[in-house]
Amino acid sequence: MVPNTTLLDLVNAVAEHARSEAEILATVVFMVNRGHVRLCGTFKGTRFETGLELDALAAA
């Protein structure tokens, strides 16, 4: 079963283990878009668009 979480709770949980903001962002986007977690609350059902901006930030 896929866990439901708010975006804030997910970001906070990932931030406890990440080394940079870029790593937080990349991990959250990956987990949500791949269906490892399901967002609830304000962002229920949200998927994130990935593109050059995210790739550039992750490379920084």
Q: Taking the complete model, does pTM exceed 0.85, yes or no? A: no
CA distances from 14 to 7, 8, 52 (A): 11, 10, 22
> Which pLDDT score, from 0 to 100, does residue 59 have?
59
Q: Are 50 and 27 in contact (CB under 8 A)?
A: no
Find the DSSP H helices in the chain. 7-15, 21-33, 52-59
Please state the domain extents for the chain: 4-59
Q: How far apart are the first and last CA of the chain?
A: 34
> Which pLDDT score, from 0 to 100, does residue 20 have?
93
Of 27, 37, 31, residue with least CA distance to 3: 37
Per-residue pLDDT of the chain (60 residues; tens, 9 = 90+): 899 999 999 999 999 999 999 899 989 999 999 999 999 999 999 888 876 566 665 555
